[in-house]
């Protein structure tokens, strides 16, 4: 005999097979206009007959015509590397195993097979216009017998989220898409897949996209290579370089189509010290394409400097004509530490005049290096940012990655969702201008030594905590399959925008006072509320303080 149990649970719950999830008691739910209401339906198969292989059900949804309900299956993924060798108490678990993360699309009315003795979950997204709506969820077995039902009241407020002000990038790896799907770089199929993944990036609140004018010199072993993805064609005739921007134009067109507002030009020098030129392919005097620059090319003082002196003015002119230059950000090199300050400074100085008037940002967590004036607009890791905040550094950006594993927020699969969602509140509270992460879809091993299957390897080959290298999975149809972590990041950005909406109504000091009251004091990137209930209380406060319209 097999029995099925069902339980609504919060979107911040991670439903593990062996853990009973917390019940969502409230069935009247409220969001602002422009938000998606997210929740989960957990289910458990109790099996008294060892010969029974499980039980199936279908979820039926009754809703008004103008209400959309999307149902996705929460699937377990392998986490061989859930955390580093040191961790804090704010992890769900530190043991390797199977963790809930992947949101696999489902067809309407698709049969769900429950696994005996395990909790699993479905993820529900509800999108609706302003007003109050009734949505009925019902589970029935294969012969139409009712197993469970629940009625929700969904209220969408007439006051809508304001446009996102935060500049948000998670590095978009076009080469990984060509490699995973086995398609030619910038072939029609590659462009279709890029378009799909750009659309997913935009849905995640990513409004600045890493743009590979040349193959990005990122996460590449010294002396090694990544698959060439170069949007700018290069020809050399004598001492002159000629540039073809046709592919870059197509890329920019897709960015505009998908709502991407900013371009992030790939780094002009190699990672970890800016000691070499990036890989750049081109032809010489009409010959076949060859490697013009790369690990064999010094960053400064040689032919590459002369190349940049010709390339950057032409690129800037092209972007200006296209209407994008004032929305373009340039990079020198990633995260220069004290020992790399001299080589970074030399690289920066070699292009400083060429980038005059342009926006230049780089990851930088050493305040001593910042004080030398090497990076005017730093992107600081969240575990080092307090020093920058106390110093009143303007136009501050933030990032986290594999190293930010203790106390601070992050998006590792083994972390509770609330630890990711709090970022929106912290970004608002500290007035952060931009946020960066290195991996929207990095499907390589560490240093790009080999390609990986992200459905089986979530840690870049046991290099980083699972979930750090990518936020989306490559679906078989060339679309991005999303994750719990991605949805929670979207929620964190909705929190940020909700606070900005409230600020428009009551002023920033009043909003900060409200946050400190809820959190029990000043918030920092190490001291912050990490309980799911905080966010429900936060929304109640916001809704209560928003003046009634009309």
509 within a domain of the structure (yes/no): no
- Collapsed DSSP state (helix, strand, coil) of residue 388: helix
| 534 inside domain | no
What 8-state DSSP symbol labels residue 22?
A: P
Contact 381, 371 (CB under 8 A): no
For residue 513, is it within any domain? no
Q: Does residue 108 form part of some domain? A: yes
141 and 191 inside one domain:
no
CA proximity to 106, closest of 471, 475, 490, 491: 475
Structure tokens at 339: 């020992």
- Report the DSSP beta bridge partners of residue 75: 102
User: What is the SS3 assignment for 327?
Assistant: helix
Q: What is the pLDDT of residue 49?
A: 60
CATH number at residue 99: 2.60.40.10
Map residue 128 onto helix, strand or coil. Answer: coil
Tens-place pLDDT, residues 76-135: 999 999 999 999 999 999 999 999 999 999 998 899 999 999 999 999 999 999 999 999
Same domain, 79 and 181: no
**Tens of pLDDT, residues 398-457:** 999 999 999 999 999 999 999 999 999 999 999 999 999 999 999 999 999 999 999 999
Instruction: Single out the residue in 158, 185, 216 at which a domain terminates.
Output: 158
456 and 473 both lie in a single domain = yes
Of the pLDDT bands very low, low, confident and very high (cuts 50, 70, 90), residue 2 is low
Q: What's the pLDDT score for residue 253?
A: 98
Looking at the structure, do residues 242 and 283 belong to the same domain, yes or no? yes
**Average pLDDT of the segment spanning 2-7:** 87
Judgement on whether residues 174 and 278 belong to the same structural domain of the protein: yes
* Spatial distance between the Cα atoms of 538 and 31, rounded to a whole number of angstroms: 12
Is 212 inside any structural domain?
Answer: yes
Which class for 215: exposed (0-12), middle (13-18), buried (19 or more C-beta within 10 A)? Answer: buried
CA-CA distance, 152 to 131, in Å (whole number)? 14
Say if residue 31 is in the same domain as residue 69. Answer: yes
Q: How many domains does the chain have?
A: 2
Q: What is the pLDDT of residues 264-307, one digit of tens each?
A: 999 999 998 899 999 999 999 999 999 999 999 999 999 999 99
Strand partners, 330: 360
3-class DSSP assignment, residue 500: helix
Closest C-alpha among 87, 158, 2 to residue 549: 158
pLDDT in tens, 206-255: 999 999 999 999 999 999 999 999 999 999 999 999 999 999 999 999 99
Please report the pLDDT score of residue 140 as a whole number.
93
Please list the alpha-helical segments (H only) found in 295-337.
303-322
By mean pLDDT, which of 108-112, 190-194, 473-477, 535-539 is the weakest? 108-112
Residue 189 falls inside a structural domain: yes
Using CA of residue 211, residue 217, residue 220, residue 226, what is the dihedral sign? positive
The verdict on 13 and 51 lying in the same domain is: yes
- Residue-wise pLDDT tens digits, 121-180: 999 999 999 999 999 999 998 777 899 999 999 999 999 999 999 999 999 999 999 999
- Interval 462-492: pLDDT, tens: 999 999 999 999 999 999 999 999 999 999 9
Question: Is residue 402 located within the same domain as residue 435?
Answer: yes
Please check whether residues 334 and 250 belong to one and the same domain.
Answer: yes
On whether both 181 and 50 belong to a single domain, the answer is no
Q: Which two tokens stand for residue 233?
A: 């064609």
Please give the pLDDT value at position 339: 86
The answer on 134 and 81 residing in a single domain is yes
In a domain, 541, yes or no: no
**CATH assignment at residue 462:** 3.20.20
**Segments forming the whole domain that contains residue 339:** 167-292+302-503
Dihedral angle over CA of 81, 85, 89, 93, nearest 10: 30
Note whether residue 80 is domain-resident. Answer: yes
User: Over the chain, what is the mean pLDDT?
Assistant: 96
Q: Are 129 and 91 part of one and the same domain?
A: yes
């Amino acid at each position: 005999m097999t029995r099925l149990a069902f339980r609504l649970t919060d979107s911040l719950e991670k439903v593990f097979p062996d853990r009973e999830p917390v019940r969502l008691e409230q069935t009247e739910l409220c969001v602002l206009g422009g938000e998606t209401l997210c929740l989960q339906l957990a289910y458990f198969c109790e099996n008294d007959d060892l010969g029974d292989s499980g039980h199936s059900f279908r979820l039926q949804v009754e809703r008004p015509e103008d209400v959309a309900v999307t149902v996705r299956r929460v699937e377990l993924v392998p986490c061989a590397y859930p955390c580093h060798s040191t961790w804090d108490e704010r992890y769900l678990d530190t043991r390797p195993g199977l963790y809930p993360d992947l949101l696999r699309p489902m067809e309407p009315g698709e049969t769900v097979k429950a696994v005996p003795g395990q909790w699993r979950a479905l993820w529900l997204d509800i999108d609706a216009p302003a007003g109050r709506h009734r949505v009925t969820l019902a589970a029935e077995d294969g012969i139409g017998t009712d197993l469970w039902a629940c009625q929700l009241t969904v209220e969408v407020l007439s006051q809508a989220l304001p446009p996102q002000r935060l500049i948000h990038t998670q590095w978009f790896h076009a080469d990984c898409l060509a490699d995973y799907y086995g398609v030619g770089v910038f072939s029609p199929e590659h462009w279709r897949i890029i378009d799909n993944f750009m659309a997913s990036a935009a849905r995640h609140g990513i409004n600045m996209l890493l743009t590979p004018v040349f193959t990005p010199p990122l996460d590449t072993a010294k002396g090694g290579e990544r698959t060439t993805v170069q949007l700018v064609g290069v020809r050399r005739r004598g001492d002159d370089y000629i540039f073809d921007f046709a592919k870059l134009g197509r890329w920019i067109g897709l960015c505009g189509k998908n709502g991407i507002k900013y371009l992030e030009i790939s780094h002009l020098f190699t990672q970890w010290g800016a000691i070499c030129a990036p890989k750049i392919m081109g032809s010489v005097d009409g010959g076949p394409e060859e490697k013009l620059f790369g690990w064999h090319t010094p960053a400064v003082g040689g032919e590459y400097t002369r190349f940049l002196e010709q390339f950057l003015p032409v690129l800037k002119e092209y972007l200006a004509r296209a209407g994008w230059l004032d929305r373009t950000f340039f990079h020198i090199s990633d995260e220069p530490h004290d020992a790399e300050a001299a080589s970074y400074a030399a690289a920066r100085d070699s292009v400083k005049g060429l980038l005059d008037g342009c926006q230049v940002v780089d990851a930088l967590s050493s305040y001593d290096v910042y004080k030398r004036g090497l990076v005017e607009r730093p992107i600081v890791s969240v575990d080092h940012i307090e020093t920058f905040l106390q110093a009143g550094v303007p136009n501050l950006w933030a990032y986290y990655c594999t190293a930010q594993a203790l106390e601070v927020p992050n998006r590792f699969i083994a972390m509770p969702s609330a630890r990711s969602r709090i970022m929106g509140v912290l970004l608002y509270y500290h007035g952060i201008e931009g946020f960066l992460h290195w991996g929207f879809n990095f499907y390589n091993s560490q240093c790009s030594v080999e390609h990986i299957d992200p459905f089986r390897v979530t840690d870049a080959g046991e290099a980083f905590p699972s979930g750090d290298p990518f936020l989306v999975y490559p679906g078989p149809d060339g679309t991005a399959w999303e994750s719990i972590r991605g949805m929670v990041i979207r929620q964190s950005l909705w929190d940020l925008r909700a606070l900005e909406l409230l600020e428009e109504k009551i002023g920033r000091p009043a909003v900060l006072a409200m946050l400190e009251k809820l959190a029990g004091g000043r918030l920092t990137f190490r001291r912050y509320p990490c309980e799911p209930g905080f966010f429900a209380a936060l929304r109640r406060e916001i809704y209560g303080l928003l003046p009634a319209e009309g």
